[in-house]
Amino acid sequence: MAVTLSERAASHITNFLAKRGKGVGIRLGVRTSGCSGMAYKLEYADEVPEGDEMFTSHGVTVFVDPQSLSYLDGTELDYAREGLNEGFKFNNPNVKDACGCGESFNV
Amino acid sequence: MALLQIAEPGMSSAPHQHRLAVGIDLGTTNSLVATVRSGLAVVLDDEAGRSLLPSVVRYHPGSQVDVGYPAQSMQNQDPHNTIVSVKRFMGRGIADIEDVASLPYRFVDAPGMVQLRTSAGVKSPVEVSAEIIKALRQRAEAAMGGELVGAVITVPAYFDDAQRQATKDAAQLAGLNVLRLLNEPTAAAIAYGLDNAAEGVYAVYDLGGGTFDISILRLSRGVFEVLATNGDSALGGDDFDQRIFCWMLEQGRFEPLSACDMRLLLTKARDAKEALTEHTEVRVTAVLSTGEMMDATLTQTAFNAMTASLIGKTMAPTRKALRDAGLSVDEVKGVVMVGGSTRMPCIRQAVADFFKQTPLTNLDPDKVVTLGAAMQADVLAGNRAGDDWLLLDVIPLSLGLETMGGLTEKVIPRNTTIPTARAQDFTTFRDGQTAMSVHVLQGERELASDCRSLARFELRGIPPMVAGAARIRVTFQVDADGLLSVSAREQSSGVEASVQVKPSYGLGDEDITRMLKDAFTHARDDMYARALNEQIVDAQGLIAATRAALAEDGTLLDAAETAVIEASIAGLEKLIAGTDHHAIKRGVEALNAATTEFAQRRMDQNVRRAMAGQKLETFG
């Protein structure tokens, strides 16, 4: 079971964390909500969350809570640019279908 | 799929409910928009990667409108329909605009705010500004992939109510919810994180393309107070270009220039100025349409010498602002540099020498205000945990109303933190008075005529009562944007009237600084004027009361006694016409003395009337 970052995502996160001035890594998760059942969570982690699984990818520490991990296993977090917009993208092999915009999904 | 940003711990939003908020710097020359992305404030660029949007709007016949660079490029070809620096007209009447004659616009003198006649019809400055905001909103929505919940828009610290309201109206017209209007120097201070720092006094030195502003801020308990502002609305980077341009003319000994060559040389001048930021000398070459050539070298030393007087012109207002704030240079804890012109090494050096410290320059001076606004917008949109970060602003000039005798009664003093509400009770001046006019003022002076009139309204339907019996509560409410609403309510009857202050026209920054300065220099005159007016009001009240009593109970006096009182009244009336408040006071005392016996008899008579027909034991 693992979650990884693309190189581009990792370098952005490293940069963000440095400018933010605090934080030990990022924390990924899923929760039940949204039009297709599940939604991603993407947050900074200021301290090591208890009970979380911990991964290191391209030098960035990634925390995932155990319940979420079953839905996120094999996911690669990427950083993408679409026109003027830019941000993070979950490439999650577990997703069966997603809503139009992809913000919520089903496994 | 949608692109996500990293949220603060525990602050992830539900899908489709991102609280997208931006900060907008609606500048005189250029405007910018910024947001907070994954916790960092970033300025949003357009498709071509440019962050500045020239604040220029061009109207075509019909409904097509150009904003930004395409409009700016047509500024010389289509001057009537291409509106530049519209910020200067926001909330202003035609009388407030100094150089109307030299501007290419067809002004329409409308009540309240000046309007501009274009080939697309008559446009108000609010509509023109709305076009700029709309362009920024579209840029932001494209860059953030969703609709904005709102924006924080910055305004100069000296903007009065009319100018703030006009800015807010423009945003609403552009379909943007205004979370807060924020003072530009305050935004710059936030961008540098000064609001997280310890308390202290900070100076914000803002030299833009065509305007200079200096603000002295004090941070205490999370509140930025604007202690003083000063500046020069006709001084900026363009003047530095002009100096180089003059130098070029001297070097080249050119024939009279065509408009086209003049523009060419000005552009070269600007390039030279920018090059001198990084290099100690620059070679300036140009070929004019007449075939004349110039090829010369400008050194930084020569440039500094030719612009020293311009830098001096920014130091005089800076000194004045400090003096107005009652502070010395040593008390200033930090200096923030804002505006593209502060990139010039000579400016940084002059500011460093003046304040005896290195100014803060590590953020892009063109972007610092927008970044601060974006950070504030992020907080107001609810994207950060904890509310300790919420920043408060203050009222720049006191708000009050006119009382009898043309005096100002301050209801909310300046530098009160907003939002705020204050109430004060007033009463009627004459017997049977059924209406009261409420005149809302802004300013520091004692006399209403020296303050700025914001609004007038009437409270009608006050039940007739003797003078001084009615209790009228006037409430001033200022929202978080510094906008005022005033209501008046007669307490016994519940009659109410209110006004949302949409003032008729605005004041210039010079007016504001002048008004503040006047308030200090005229403090003594004002106190005298106030004393005089108070005495006059007293005297008039006493005369009116005496006359009313004579009309009612004149029979209690004989002819000689009446004559004495009449003479006292006449004497007092003559004194009122003069300006000696001590004399008026003595006159009032004299009339009081002259009527003591009369008042006694009236009392006796009233008691007799009241007791008539009553049995003695009722009073036992």
Question: Does residue B428 contact residue B436 with C-beta atoms inside 8 Å?
Answer: yes
DSSP string, B165-203: HHHHHHHHHTT--EEEEEEHHHHHHHHTTTTTS-SEEEE
Residue B54 reports pLDDT greater than 90: yes
User: Which of B2, B40, B143 comes nearest A102 by C-beta?
Assistant: B2
The token duo for B350 is 């002059």
| Model pLDDT, residue B577 | 83
Give the pLDDT of residue B503: 42
pLDDT 10s digits, A21-71: 888 999 998 877 655 667 888 999 988 888 888 999 999 999 998 888 888
- Give pLDDT, residue B581: 82
Looking at chain B, how many residues does it have? 620
pLDDT band at B348; cut points 50, 70, 90: very high
**pLDDT band (50, 70, 90) for residue B438:** confident
The amino acid that residue B9 corresponds to is P
Q: Is B333 a catalytic residue?
A: no
The average pLDDT across A68-87 equals 86
Residue B522 has pLDDT above 80, yes or no: no
What's chain A's average pLDDT? 84
Number of H helices, E strands in chain A: 2, 9
**Alpha helices (runs of H) in B554-580, residue ranges in sequence order:** 559-577
- Average the pLDDT over B440-451 and give the result: 83
Kind plus residue range of the DSSP H or E element containing B107: strand B106-108
Residue B514, pLDDT > 70, answer: no
Give the whole-angstrom CA distance, residue B588 versus residue B611.
Answer: 33
Q: Which residues in chain A have Cβ-Cβ distances shorter than 8 Å to B16?
A: 34-35, 101, 103-104
For residue B611, is pLDDT > 60?
Answer: yes
Residues B371-418 pLDDT 10s: 999 998 988 887 776 544 455 566 767 889 888 888 888 898 877 777
What is the ipTM metric for this complex? 0.82
Give which of B268, B318, B275 is closest to B300, Cα–Cα.
B275
Beta-bridge mates of residue B496: B489
Chain B residues close to A98, C-beta within 8 Å: 1
Phi-psi region of B265 (alpha: psi -120 to 50; beta: other; left: phi over 0): alpha
Inform me whether the pLDDT recorded for B152 exceeds 90. Answer: yes
Q: Would the pLDDT of B240 be above 70?
A: yes
- The partner residues of B42 in beta bridges, in order of sequence, read B35
pLDDT over 90 at B266, yes or no: no
Q: Which of B9, B14, B144 faces A44 most closely, judged by CB atoms?
A: B9
* Residue owning tokens 């909103």: B137
CB B229 within 8 A of CB B355: no
User: Residue B5's closest chain A neighbor by CA?
Assistant: A87
Separation of alpha carbons B176 and B278, rounded Å? 40
Question: Which of the four pLDDT bands, split at 50, 70 and 90, describes residue B16?
Answer: low
Residue B105 near residue B80 (C-beta atoms within 8 A) = yes
Sign of CA dihedral B439, B443, B445, B451: negative
What is the pLDDT at residue B213? 92
Q: Which two tokens stand for residue B613?
A: 């027909």
Based on the residue annotation, tell me whether B206 is a catalytic residue of this protein: yes
**Which residues have a Cβ under 8 Å from the Cβ of B496 and sit 6 or more positions away?**
B459, B487, B488, B489, B490
Q: What angle do CA B131, B132, B137 make, to 5 degrees?
A: 95
Beta carbons within 10 angstroms of residue B507's beta carbon? 24
The pLDDT tens digits for B164-209 are 889 988 998 888 999 889 889 999 998 988 877 768 899 999 998 8
Query: Given pLDDT bands bounded at 50, 70 and 90, which one contains residue B513?
Result: low
Inter-chain CB proximity A43 and B12 less than 8 Å? yes
Distances (CA, A) of A107 to A32, A36, A38, A65, B17: 11, 10, 8, 17, 22
- Across the range B224-248, mean pLDDT stands at 87
Q: Are β-strands B150-155 and B496-500 bridged in parallel, bridged antiparallel, or unpaired?
A: unpaired
CA distances from B43 to A15, A85, B348, B371 (A): 16, 12, 24, 7
Catalytic-role residue among B46, B87, B123, B446: B87
Q: How many helices (H) and strands (E) does chain B have?
A: 14, 28
Give the end-to-end CA distance of chain B in Å, rounded to a whole number: 94
Report the pLDDT value the prediction gives residue A35, as an integer from 0 to 100: 59
Record the pTM: 0.65
Q: Do residues B260 and B267 lie in contact, with contact meaning Cβ atoms separated by under 8 Å? A: no
Which of B366-375, B420-429, B536-545, B602-611 is the most confident on average? Answer: B366-375
Q: What DSSP string describes B376-391?
A: HHHHHTT-SS-STT--
What rounded mean pLDDT belongs to chain B?
84
Determine the pLDDT at residue B524: 65
Chain A residues whose C-beta is within 8 A of a chain B C-beta are 12-13, 16, 19-20, 26-27, 31, 33-35, 39-46, 80, 82-90, 98-99, 101-104
Interface test with B, best of A103, A104, A105, A106 (most B CBs within 10 A): A103
How far apart, in whole angstroms, are the C-alpha atoms of residue A82 and residue B584? 79
Give residue B214's pLDDT band: very low, low, confident or very high (50, 70, 90): very high
Give the residue on B whose Cα is nearest the Cα of A38.
Answer: B15
Strand partners, B205: B214, B337
Question: Residue B17's pLDDT is what?
Answer: 60
pLDDT of the residue at B620: 40
C-alpha distances (whole Å) from B566 to each of B89, B426, B431, B571 are: 56, 31, 21, 9
Taking the C-alpha atoms of residue B241 and residue B135, their distance in angstroms, rounded to an integer, is 29
Predicted confidence at residue A68, as pLDDT, reads 86
Tell me which range, B61-75, B104-118, B223-237, is most confidently predicted by mean pLDDT: B61-75
Please say if the pLDDT value at position B129 is more than 90.
yes
Q: B1: helix, coil or strand?
A: coil
Q: Any catalytic annotation for residue B367?
A: no
- The torsion angles phi and psi of B361, rounded to 5 degrees, stand at -135, 5
Confidence grade of residue B307 (pLDDT, cut at 50, 70, 90): very high
B49 vs B499: which has the higher pLDDT: B49
Q: Can you give the pLDDT at residue B258?
A: 78
B143 chain-A contacts, CB cut-off 8 A: 83-86
**Mean pLDDT, rounded, for B42-64:** 92
* B173 Cα distance to chain centroid: 21
Helix, strand, coil abundance in chain B, percent, nearest 5: 40, 25, 35
**Under a CB-based contact definition with an 8 Å cutoff, are residues B539 and B571 in contact?**
no
Count of beta carbons in the 10 Å neighbourhood of residue B70: 11
Structure confidence at residue A4 (pLDDT)? 92
Tokens of B404: 């009898």
CA B452 to each of CA B7, B109, B397: distance values in angstroms, whole numbers, following the listed order: 46, 20, 10
**In the predicted structure, residue B564 carries a pLDDT above the cut 60:** yes
